[in-house]
Amino acid sequence: MYREAIIEEQSAEIVVAEGGHDKNSPTCTNYLRSIHDTLDIISGKWKVTIIGSLSFGKKRFMELQRDVEGIGAKMLSKELRELEINGLVTRTVYNTKPVTVEYEITEYGKTLQPIIFEMSKWGTQHRKRIMSKD
């Protein structure tokens, strides 16, 4: 009842306003549990950026490594493997010489885009804020 409304129609601001007087309601517990579930899948230094990059189209291993600044081959292949296991990206090998491999975001992976888009928006604003301080 309470929770349904929040999830379907309300904004984060409203959650806070409504929840403020009821600190340990099941709403709060559910909210935090859901966050935890999401973090289990996308936490770490790289996954979000990888998915963000693949949101602009399928890419090959080397393209991704160039896109995701600072990642090494070992980490990239490990992270891609985990994303594949969770059904967020697909991996396709073409038998060209030398082999090429393409990574592509799945429909399910695309459901993460609102999160990533919000992160990008926040990062843009944050950079402006930091810059104007110096």
List residues binding its own copies (CB under 8 A).
7, 11-13, 15-16, 19-25, 27-39, 41, 43-45, 48-49, 52-53, 55-57, 59, 63, 67-69, 110-127
Question: Is 99 a binder of DNA (CB under 7 A)?
Answer: yes
Secondary structure of residue 95 in the 3-state scheme: coil
Which stretch of DSSP H or E encloses residue 60? strand 59-60
Mark the segment that binds DNA (CB under 7 A) among 9-17, 94-102, 110-118, 125-133: 94-102
From DNA, its own copies, none, interface partner of 101 (C-beta below 5 to 8 A by class): DNA
Please choose, out of 30-38, 48-56, 70-78, 109-117, the segment that lies near DNA by the rule CB under 7 A.
70-78
Coil, helix or strand at residue 13? helix
75 binding DNA? (CB under 7 A): yes
**Binding residue for DNA (CB under 7 A) from 3, 45, 121, 127?**
45
Write out the two tokens for 20: 């403020």
The least distance separating DNA from the CB of residue 92, rounded to whole angstroms, comes to 10
* Rounded CA Rg of the chain: 19
Closest alpha carbon to 107 in 84, 77, 87: 87
Q: How far apart are the C-alpha atoms of 78 and 63, rounded to whole Å?
A: 16
